[in-house]
């Protein structure tokens, strides 16, 4: 039995961390399947995942082979059974879309030929530039039913509750991603009609050219269902562009939710039930994690708060640096913010190797990259990680010639996954040992990590999900472009990711709050990156939070407009603050900041832009060098709001003083000679705790740590090697002993109760251990043995 409860994955009653690697059976000769799975087992993984591509299994005549009748590698059940023989669980990813660098993202060519109506047009009626479809087009739903008729009977008897190895089934893949990256919404006739019904539902039955956006007033000159509605949606005029952009995003959330609910019903009707259904969230772009919440925004209604549904990240961030690790931390925090009390964090596509899928050696990340990222995700409560791609392979020829230059299943050429931990021919890659080391570390600490949650200080990062609803905007609309550009520049972790990076470097452990739907914890401090456009509901919630005794740190230009572009100055008026001119840097102008009050001392600091503020009360904390105010600390009710209307860079000292002035102190205090070390703690309900240290820099760092004002282990100095991560006991129950502290990570516990450690972080490479309150020392490789 598999339970998703209290943000844990429990398999047959045991809290578990699922460590998986993606191995594509369709890219590996059947005779070599066993060798790839053996390498996965050797790396410590307990699960194998694979896409199951419809494109690979459907033959040119439309028949579907999932038994190997026409090609040995098409016997999906045999691969799943072999995995079970090797002691591996299985994550099934049957689509219908699978991406996986496949032609048509895994959809058969025939579907497009036979049903051209499923292919949407976008803005101005132009054809979609990707191979996307209208997911709910009746013809596509019917074709998906044919595919499910073939593949679900293979999966159903192999589900874990039936005694098989399948512990999860993913529904489609990266839903909505193609329309986002091409800025081409799925505007088929059927979708435009359904969108019109949604608009009428939101606004009531009123018609005509109303100017408001509330219920009962349509903001469109043409009512849904009338002649001209489709043309208006596809080519919006400026007077309706703001409202249309907002409402189209809200509508597509619902449509994706309807699509996923339909896929789930189709699975359950075919006997696939009793295991988690998985949703893969896309959003990283070119090594940048800042756009990731766009995927959460698109898909939130497909899984959030729905029993039996679990979301997983899909991230490609490149090298593990302070910048990308900040992105990853925020991504995990934002994902958790929309989950319910039971849904855990998972990662369904966790970049492995170097991400070089088709050869050419353009990318070669340090082998420690997967290890460092894995450790950060585990520290934040991830319960499942699937390394993509764990093993490369060979792209087989298509069964029909399509004349596209290679006539293979994939566009990457013959060899695929050239820099994966296991190469296309089954050879160990340069990242194999580092990946193996990461997995073994997780498994050695699984008894504790599987039940631990991250400790958080009294500060939360504000998530305004609607600020990420920017996947569609007409390129010719200045109204849409202005809103999207403003939101993109300032949302989330703040411009230049200054908020999140500064908090991490300052020792703050923080989560996030979904501000459209949830109130922050009473009395807590919210830090929020926002632009001029901030929804009325969020402004009202923030005012209520501060008036009741909470605090707010707001980074970005003063909010003065709704998300549709209409005026909304609730927060500004409550604070008595007015935003003035925004002055930006140029080749001959270099705006710089001067600190005042609690912000000082702070060196005069370059900023990319500053906005002048006029305020009726409160204290000045920032000006430009000419004295124009751009930062104020304003009392509101029982709380305070710090408005920073400038491009403030990452600075742990500055933001620590800001939060300190509001009474918030970091629970962790790190002393180290340079930035690059990230730390957090996790704990269980019964008081066990671990300290997580990650050094992202290329140099060894000397670190001392204090927790809640008390130096750990009497203020011992730890020597943290370059590009390394460590899970250090801070009170772990191992058998009948309690390890109060160890300056090394647990590497395993033997059957006799002996605890093995990795190389210690003492300056001499040794390990300090405090067991049951008694201090001692161990040389590397020595053990603590249970009596």
Q: Do 42 and 58 reside in the same domain of the chain?
A: yes
Q: Do 618 and 689 reside in the same domain of the chain?
A: no
**Max Cα separation, the chain?**
83
Q: Do 657 and 528 reside in the same domain of the chain?
A: yes
pLDDT digits (tens, 9 = 90+) for 697-748: 999 999 999 999 999 988 889 999 999 999 999 999 998 889 999 999 999 9
Q: Where are the alpha helices (DSSP H) in 551-651?
A: 570-575
State how far the Cα of 270 lies from the Cα of 144, in Å rounded to an integer.
13
Q: Please check whether residue 218 lies inside any domain of the structure.
A: no
Q: Please check whether residue 258 lies inside any domain of the structure.
A: no
The predicted structure's pLDDT at residue 714 = 84
Q: Please check whether residue 496 lies inside any domain of the structure.
A: yes
Q: Do the beta carbons of residue 593 and residue 648 sit within 8 Å?
A: yes
Q: Is the pLDDT of residue 511 over 60?
A: yes
The angle subtended at Cα 185 by Cα 103 and Cα 335, nearest 5°, is 85
For the ranges 138-142, 215-219, 362-366, 455-459, the lowest mean pLDDT is seen at 215-219
pLDDT band at 784 (very low <50, low <70, confident <90, very high): low
The predicted structure's pLDDT at residue 777 = 53
State how far the Cα of 734 lies from the Cα of 506, in Å rounded to an integer.
32
pLDDT digits (tens, 9 = 90+) for 75-100: 999 999 999 999 999 999 999 999 99
Crossing angle of the two packed helices 76-85 and 33-42, in degrees rounded to 10: 40
pLDDT band at 527 (very low <50, low <70, confident <90, very high): very high
Q: Where are the alpha helices (DSSP H) in 646-708?
A: 652-661
Q: Do 526 and 443 reside in the same domain of the chain?
A: no
pLDDT band at 497 (very low <50, low <70, confident <90, very high): very high
Mean pLDDT of all residues in 252-269? 98
C-alpha to C-alpha distances, 359 to 231, 396, 414, 435, 776, nearest whole angstrom? 45, 17, 10, 20, 51
Domain count, the chain: 3
Owning domain of residue 60: 2-181+272-453
Q: Is the pLDDT of residue 786 over 50?
A: no
The predicted structure's pLDDT at residue 764 = 86
Q: Token pair of 438, please?
A: 């990461």
Q: Is the pLDDT of residue 616 over 70?
A: yes
The predicted structure's pLDDT at residue 776 = 61
Mean pLDDT of all residues in 113-118? 96
Q: Residue 322, SS3? A: helix
State how far the Cα of 290 lies from the Cα of 377, in Å rounded to an integer.
17
Mean pLDDT of all residues in 177-197? 96
Q: Where are the alpha helices (DSSP H) in 533-631?
A: 536-547, 570-575
Q: Do 441 and 515 reside in the same domain of the chain?
A: no
Q: Do 422 and 468 reside in the same domain of the chain?
A: no
Q: Token pair of 595, please?
A: 């600190």
Q: Is the pLDDT of residue 216 over 60?
A: no
pLDDT digits (tens, 9 = 90+) for 308-357: 999 999 999 999 999 999 999 999 999 999 999 999 999 999 999 987 77
The angle subtended at Cα 755 by Cα 782 and Cα 455, nearest 5°, is 120
For the ranges 52-61, 207-216, 366-375, the lowest mean pLDDT is seen at 207-216
Q: Please check whether residue 331 lies inside any domain of the structure.
A: yes
Beta strands in 418-541 (DSSP E): 453-454, 459-463, 511-514, 525-529
Q: Please check whether residue 278 lies inside any domain of the structure.
A: yes
pLDDT digits (tens, 9 = 90+) for 515-525: 999 999 999 99
Q: Do 441 and 474 reside in the same domain of the chain?
A: no
Residue that is written with structure tokens 């091409």 in the block: 182
Q: Residue 312's domain is classified under what CATH number?
A: 3.20.20.80
Decide which of 782 and 638 is more confident: 638
Q: Do the beta carbons of residue 645 and residue 631 sit within 8 Å?
A: yes
Q: Is the pLDDT of residue 444 over 50?
A: yes
The predicted structure's pLDDT at residue 354 = 83
pLDDT digits (tens, 9 = 90+) for 726-737: 999 999 999 888
Q: Do 37 and 51 reside in the same domain of the chain?
A: yes
Q: Do the beta carbons of residue 753 and residue 785 sit within 8 Å?
A: yes
Q: Is the pLDDT of residue 189 over 80?
A: yes
State how far the Cα of 457 lies from the Cα of 504, in Å rounded to an integer.
12
The predicted structure's pLDDT at residue 356 = 77
Q: Is the pLDDT of residue 33 over 90?
A: yes
How is 565-627 classified by DSSP, letter by letter?
S-B--HHHHHHTEEEEEEEE-BTTB--EEEE-GGG-S---EE-SEEEEEEESSSEEEEEETT-
pLDDT band at 782 (very low <50, low <70, confident <90, very high): low
pLDDT band at 362 (very low <50, low <70, confident <90, very high): confident
The predicted structure's pLDDT at residue 209 = 40
Q: Is the pLDDT of residue 257 over 90?
A: yes
The predicted structure's pLDDT at residue 207 = 45
The predicted structure's pLDDT at residue 210 = 37
Q: Do 605 and 644 reside in the same domain of the chain?
A: yes
Q: Is the pLDDT of residue 583 over 80?
A: yes
Q: Do 397 and 342 reside in the same domain of the chain?
A: yes
Q: Please check whether residue 225 lies inside any domain of the structure.
A: no
Q: Is the pLDDT of residue 217 over 80?
A: no
Q: Do 720 and 625 reside in the same domain of the chain?
A: no
Computed over every residue of the chain, the mean pLDDT equals 94
Q: Do the beta carbons of residue 270 and residue 152 sit within 8 Å?
A: yes
- Choosing from 421, 453, 485, the residue where a domain stops is 453
- Choosing from 453, 468, 494, the residue where a domain stops is 453
Q: Do 283 and 342 reside in the same domain of the chain?
A: yes
Q: Is the pLDDT of residue 245 over 80?
A: yes
C-alpha dihedral sign at 340, 346, 351, 357? negative
Q: Please check whether residue 243 lies inside any domain of the structure.
A: no
Q: Do the beta carbons of residue 92 and residue 84 sit within 8 Å?
A: no
Q: Please check whether residue 595 lies inside any domain of the structure.
A: yes
The predicted structure's pLDDT at residue 524 = 98
Q: Residue 625's domain is classified under what CATH number?
A: 3.40.50.880
């Amino acid at each position: 039995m598999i339970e998703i409860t209290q943000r844990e994955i429990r398999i047959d009653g045991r809290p578990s961390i699922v460590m998986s690697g993606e191995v594509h059976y369709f890219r590996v000769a059947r005779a070599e399947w066993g060798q790839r799975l053996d390498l996965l087992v050797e790396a410590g993984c307990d699960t194998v995942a694979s896409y199951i591509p419809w494109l690979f299994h459907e033959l040119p005549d439309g028949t579907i082979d999932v038994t190997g009748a026409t090609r040995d590698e098409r016997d999906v059940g045999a691969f799943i059974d072999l995995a079970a023989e090797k002691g591996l669980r299985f994550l099934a990813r049957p689509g219908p879309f699978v991406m996986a660098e496949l032609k048509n993202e895994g959809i058969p060519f025939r579907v497009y030929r036979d049903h051209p109506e499923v292919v949407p047009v976008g803005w101005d009626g132009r054809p979609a530039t990707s191979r996307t479809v209208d997911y709910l087009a009746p013809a596509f739903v019917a074709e998906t039913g044919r595919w499910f008729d073939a593949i679900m009977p293979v999966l159903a008897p192999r589900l874990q509750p039936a005694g098989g190895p399948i512990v999860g089934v993913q529904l489609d893949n990266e839903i909505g991603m193609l329309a986002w990256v091409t800025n081409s919404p799925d505007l088929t006739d059927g979708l435009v009609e359904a969108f019109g019904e949604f608009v009428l539902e939101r606004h009531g039955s009123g018609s005509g050219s109303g100017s408001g956006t509330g219920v009962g007033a349509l903001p469109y000159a043409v009512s849904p269902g009338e002649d001209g509605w489709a043309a208006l949606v596809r080519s919006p005029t400026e007077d309706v562009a703001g409202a249309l952009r907002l409402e189209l995003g809200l509508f597509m959330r619902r449509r994706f939710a309807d699509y996923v609910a339909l896929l789930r019903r189709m699975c359950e009707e075919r006997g696939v039930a009793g295991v988690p259904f998985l949703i893969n969230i896309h959003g990283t772009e070119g090594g940048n994690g800042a756009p990731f919440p766009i995927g959460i925004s698109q898909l939130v209604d497909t899984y959030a708060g729905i029993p039996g549904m679990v979301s997983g990240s899909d991230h490609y961030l490149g090298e593990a640096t302070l910048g990308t690790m900040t992105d990853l931390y925020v991504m995990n925090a934002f994902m958790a913010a929309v989950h319910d009390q039971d849904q855990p964090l998972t990662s369904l596509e966790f970049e492995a190797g170097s991400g070089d899928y088709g050869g050419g050696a353009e990318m070669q990340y340090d082998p420690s990259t997967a290890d460092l990222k894995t450790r950060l995700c585990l520290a934040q409560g991830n319960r499942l990680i699937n390394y993509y791609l764990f093993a490369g392979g060979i792209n087989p020829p298509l069964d029909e010639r399509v004349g596209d230059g290679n006539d293979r299943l994939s566009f990457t050429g013959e060899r695929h996954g050239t820099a994966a931990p296991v190469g296309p021919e089954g050879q160990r890659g340069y990242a194999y040992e580092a990946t193996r080391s990461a997995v073994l570390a997780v498994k050695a600490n699984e008894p504790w990590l599987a039940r631990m949650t991250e400790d958080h200080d009294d500060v939360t990062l504000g998530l305004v999900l609607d600020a990420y609803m920017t996947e569609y905007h007409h390129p010719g609309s200045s109204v849409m472009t202005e809103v999207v550009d403003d939101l993109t520049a300032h949302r989330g972790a703040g411009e230049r990711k200054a908020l999140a990076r500064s908090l991490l470097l300052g020792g703050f452990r923080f989560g996030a709050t979904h501000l459209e739907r949830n109130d922050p914890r009473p009395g807590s401090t919210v830090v929020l990156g926002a632009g001029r456009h901030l929804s009325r509901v969020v402004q009202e919630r923030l005012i209520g939070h501060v008036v009741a005794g909470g605090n707010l740190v707001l980074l970005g230009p003063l909010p003065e407009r709704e998300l549709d572009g209409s005026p909304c100055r609730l927060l500004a008026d409550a604070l008595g603050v007015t935003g003035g001119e925004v002055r930006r840097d140029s080749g001959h102008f270099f705006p710089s900041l001067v600190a005042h009050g609690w912000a000082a001392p702070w060196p005069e600091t370059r900023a990319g832009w500053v906005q002048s503020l006029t305020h009726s009360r409160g204290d000045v904390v920032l000006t430009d060098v000419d004295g124009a105010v751009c930062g104020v600390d304003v009392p509101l009710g029982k709380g305070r709001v710090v408005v920073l209307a400038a491009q403030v860079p990452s600075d742990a000292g500055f933001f620590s003083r800001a939060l300190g002035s509001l009474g918030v102190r970091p629970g962790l205090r790190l002393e180290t000679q340079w930035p690059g070390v990230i730390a957090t703690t996790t704990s269980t309900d019964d008081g066990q705790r671990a300290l997580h240290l990650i050094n992202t820099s290329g140099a060894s760092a000397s670190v001392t740590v204090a927790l809640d004002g008390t130096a750990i282990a009497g203020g011992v100095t730890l020597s943290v090697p370059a590009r390394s991560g460590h899970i250090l006991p801070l009170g772990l129950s191992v058998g009948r002993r309690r390890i109060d502290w160890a300056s090394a990570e647990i590497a395993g516990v033997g059957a006799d109760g002996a605890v093995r450690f990795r190389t210690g972080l003492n300056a001499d490479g040794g390990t300090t251990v405090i067991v049951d309150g008694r201090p001692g020392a161990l040389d590397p490789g020595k053990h603590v043995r249970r009596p």
